[in-house]
Amino acid sequence: MARHLLVPLVAGALASILSLPVAALADATTLRPPAQGGVVVVDRAAYVAYVADADNAALHRLDLISGDVVSMPLEHRTG
């Protein structure tokens, strides 16, 4: 498959996976509502996707060729 076709395919699959409830196996009485607002950005020239968690806990870099993922926790500062 050509690389230019692979990038949107992987980005779409990644966005679909991120939209699924993460805690599906947890006790229903302890679940919080799913967070909304995660972001996926695809850098087509570099064949990578950057994914921000909806809760802003981490930023993930997905190599669209190898499938390698690097996650970087984000530090939250207040006031």
Please give the chain's pLDDT, 79 residues, in tens.
455 666 666 777 666 666 655 545 445 566 666 667 788 899 999 999 999 888 778 899 999 999 999 999 988 666 5
pTM value? 0.52
- Domain assignment present for residue 26? The answer is no
Beta bridge partners of 6: none
- Domain assignment present for residue 59? The answer is yes
- Domain assignment present for residue 8? The answer is yes
Q: How far from chain centre, in Å, is Cα 46?
A: 17
- Domain assignment present for residue 27? The answer is no
Q: Give the type of residue at 32.
A: R
Number of domains in the chain: 1
Q: How far apart are CA 14 and CA 45, in angstroms?
A: 18
> What is the domain extent for residue 65?
1-18+38-79
Q: How far apart are CA 72 and CA 75, in angstroms?
A: 10
- Domain assignment present for residue 63? The answer is yes
What's 5's DSSP letter? H
- Domain assignment present for residue 42? The answer is yes
